[in-house]
Structure 1
Amino acid sequence: MNLSPERDSERRLSGPVPFGATTSEVARSWERCEGDWKLDPSQRWKADVLSGAEFRHVSGRSVKLVQVAMPEMRRLFGLVQGLGLMALLADPDAMILARCIDETHEPLCRRLRLREGALWSESEAGTNGIGTVVRDCCPLFLGEGEHWRFCFSLLASYAVPIFDAQGIVAGAINLAAFSGNETRPAAPLVLDALMQAGRRIEEQLFRERYAGERVLTLGPADGCSSPLVSINDDGEITGATHAARKLTGWTDVTIGKHPHLLHELESGDALSFQKAEESVIRSALVLSKGNAVATARSLGISRATLYRKMKVMGLR
C-alpha cells in the first residue's frame, strides 16, 4: 500500500486548511504544526522508538493504566477488527504502551513504527491521533488527508484521552486503520465506543484510588470523562474526576480542604449545580437502596434536610 501519494497542489505551508476536516481541533493542530512546530508536511518521518530498557523504565509509570486499560483494549479490538482497525494505548507523552493488532497489520505497523515504545508527539509527528489527543484532551477523528504529514495521508485515526483519578490526562486510546475514509461512515459509532471505554477506564482508576469511600455522580457523562466525586462518611469531598472538576471549577486546593459536597453544590447559582445536587441525592438513594436514614448519614446531612431537599426536587 502506498502511504505517500501526490497531494493537492493547493495545500501549502502558509495558512493550511485541513482537507475534509470536520473539527476545529484538527484546524488548530494544523496551525500548530505550521506555526509552532515548523513541520514540513512533505517530509517523510518515522517515530523514534525507545530501547527495551528505556521502555521498561518509562512504561513503569503507567503500570496501573495498562492493567486497567488492557481488558477494554481487547474488547474494543474485538468490536472493530472487522473494520480493519487496530487498537493502540499510549501514555501522556504520546508513547505507545501496548497494542492489539491483526497479523495482517504487522508489515505496515513495522514500516510506520506503530509499536510499543514509539514516540508520537504532535511536535514531531504532526497532527495524529495519539499526539494531538494527549495534548488537547478531547476526542478526535482524522480521516483521509487530515494527518499533517503526507506520508500518513491514507490513515484513519480515532482517539480519545484517558483521565486518571486526579483529573489529569493519563494517556489515550487510538483506533487506527490503513484504509483511509472506508471507516468514515462508522465514525460516530466508533468514537462513541471509544469514549465509553475511556470513561470505564477512568471510573475504575477512580474507584480504586478512592476505595472504601462513596462514589457519586454529578450528572450524566458527556464526553470522555464521567462527573464523579468521592466523599467520606461526613459527606466531605475527597476526590473528583476531570468532568466533575470542569463542571464545578474545583481544583486540588479546593478538594484538599475537604469541603462538604452538598454545601459546595448549594453555593453554586448555576442550574447545572442544582442538577448536580439532584444527581448526587438520587445516586446516594440508590446506593442506600432507598433508605432515607442511611442516605442522609452518607451525605453528612440530617434526615429532615434530606426530606426537605427531596420535596423540593419532587423525589419520593
Structure 2
Amino acid sequence: MPIHSYTAHVQELEAFGMGYPLHGEARDRAVLGSWRRCIDQHRLDPSRTSEAHIVPAGQLRAHREESEPLIRIARSGLERLYQQLKGLDYVLLLADRHGVAVDFLGHDSDASDLRSAGLYLGAQWREDVAGTSAVGTCLATGEALTVHQSDHFDFTHTRLSCTAAPIYDLQGQLAAVLDLSLLRSPAARASQQMALHLVTAAVRRVELANLMAQSSSDWVLRLAQSPDFLDVDADAALSVDARGRIRAMTHAASRMLASIAGLNWRQQPLLTGQPLGRFFDTDLQALPQLMRNRPAQERILRARDGSIWFAHALPPQPRSSAQASPRP
C-alpha cells in the first residue's frame, strides 16, 4: 500500500507548487526538481490520476526497430541481472531515449498487474506524460536515481519503487535507460540502495560491450582504479584511433577525462578527437606495454591531474578476408 493517502499526496504536491516548505518525509533533490518541472513546464494536475500509457503496437514496433542494435547488445546484460535478482520480484525495463519501454523481463504470472502499472513493453514514461518516475526523471537529468513510492507525481504509481540508470552512446548522447522496479516494496527508501548499485553496474557493462562492438579497428583502453578488477570488470573504457586520438568512450570514461582536464562531462565533443597525451602521460606507441602479457599491477597509467589508473590495452582486430574484400 502507498505510504500516503491520495488526499495527503495531492496536498503535498500542491503545497510544493505554491512554494510552501515540505514537512515529513525528506525528498531527494532530483525528485523535487522533477516535481517542479511537472508543475511549471508540463502543467500536470497533481489531483489527476491515470493508468500507465501503453503505446500502440505499430508505434512500439518502430521504437524497437530504432533501438534494435542496443537491445541486442544489452539483452545478455539484462538477463544476467535478472538472474541475480531471481525470486525478489523485480522487473527490468529497457526504455529508449523517448521514454518507451522497448525490452522487458518480468514474471509472466504478473503480466496483467505489470501492464496496468506500466512495467511492461510499450509503456511511456516521459515526465510530460507520466509525471515523476525513475525512467522519465533519469532521461531529464542524465543521472542514476531512485523514485520510491510517494516520490512519484501521479498517485497511481505511488505503490511502485523504481531505480534507473542512463545508458549513453559513444557520442555522449543519452540513448536509453535501464530501470529496475518493484510492484510492492518495503516502506524504507534505503531498501533500494542495492538496486541502485546493481543497475549502474549493469549499465557500465552494457556501455563497455557497445564500445567493444564498435571499435574493432581501434585500440581500446579499459581502465580501473584497482588492478584486481581491471581484467574482469573495468570502471571505464575508451577507444584510440591510428593517430593516437580518442574516438569514443563510455560514460564513466567521459566523466573521468572531463575531471582530468577540468571540463564539463556533458560537453563530450570537447573530449572526443583529443590526443591521448592530453589526459595521460602516454601515447599510441606506448600502448603495447599495457597489454595483458604484463601483470595488472604493472600496467600503470598516470593521468595529467596526478591520479593513477590501471590499464588494459586491446589492439585493433585484424580484418578478416571477408571484411577486406569489396562486396560485389
Under a length normalisation based on structure 1, what TM-score does the superposition of the two structures give?
0.76
Further displaced range: 169-178 or 211-220: 211-220
Give the conservation status (yes or no) of the 8 Å contact 2:95–2:176: yes
* Matched residue, 1:209: 214
Find out whether 1:286 has 2:287 as its counterpart. no
* Matched residue, 1:242: 251
State the AA in 2 paired with 1:287: M
Map 1:117-136 onto structure 2 (within 5 A). Answer: 117-136=122-141
Give 1:62 shift.
0.6
Q: Distance in 1 between matches of 2:287 and 2:192?
A: 32
* Matched residue, 1:6: 6
Q: Distance in 2 between matches of 1:135 and 1:163?
A: 13
Give the conservation status (yes or no) of the 8 Å contact 2:2–2:158: no
Q: Distance in 1 between matches of 2:155 and 2:43?
A: 15
State the AA in 2 paired with 1:156: S
- More helix, by proportion: 1
* Matched residue, 1:90: 95
Further displaced range: 58-67 or 102-111: 102-111
Q: Distance in 2 between matches of 1:102 and 1:114?
A: 11
Give 1:172 shift.
0.7
Unmatched segments (≥5 aa) in structure 1: 266-275, 300-305
- More strand, by proportion: 2
Further displaced range: 77-86 or 212-221: 212-221
Q: Distance in 2 between matches of 1:19 and 1:177?
A: 24
Give the conservation status (yes or no) of the 8 Å contact 1:156–1:183: no
Q: Distance in 1 between matches of 2:163 and 2:250?
A: 23
State the AA in 1 paired with 2:8: D
Map 1:1-316 onto structure 2 (within 5 A). Answer: 5-8=5-8, 10-15=11-16, 17=22, 20-182=25-187, 184-217=189-222, 220=225, 226-246=235-255, 247-248=257-258, 249=263, 253-254=269-270, 258-262=273-277, 264-265=278-279, 277=281, 285-287=289-291, 289-290=293-294
Q: Distance in 1 between matches of 2:254 and 2:24?
A: 35
Question: SS at 2:124's partner residue?
Answer: coil
Task: Describe the superposition over 1:211-246 as per-residue Cα deviations: whole angstroms up to 9, x where unpaired.
Answer: 23111246549xxx9543211234222223333334
Q: Root-mean-square deviation (CA), in Å?
A: 3.5
* Matched residue, 1:272: none
Question: SS at 2:50's partner residue?
Answer: coil
Question: SS at 1:11's partner residue?
Answer: helix
Q: Distance in 1 between matches of 2:287 and 2:198?
A: 24
For these two proteins, the number of residue pairs brought into alignment is: 282
Give the conservation status (yes or no) of the 8 Å contact 2:63–2:100: no
State the AA in 2 paired with 1:289: N
Task: Describe the superposition over 1:11-55 as per-residue Cα deviations: whole angstroms up to 9, x where unpaired.
Answer: 142425496445211111111111111212221113333322222
Unmatched segments (≥5 aa) in structure 2: 227-233, 311-328
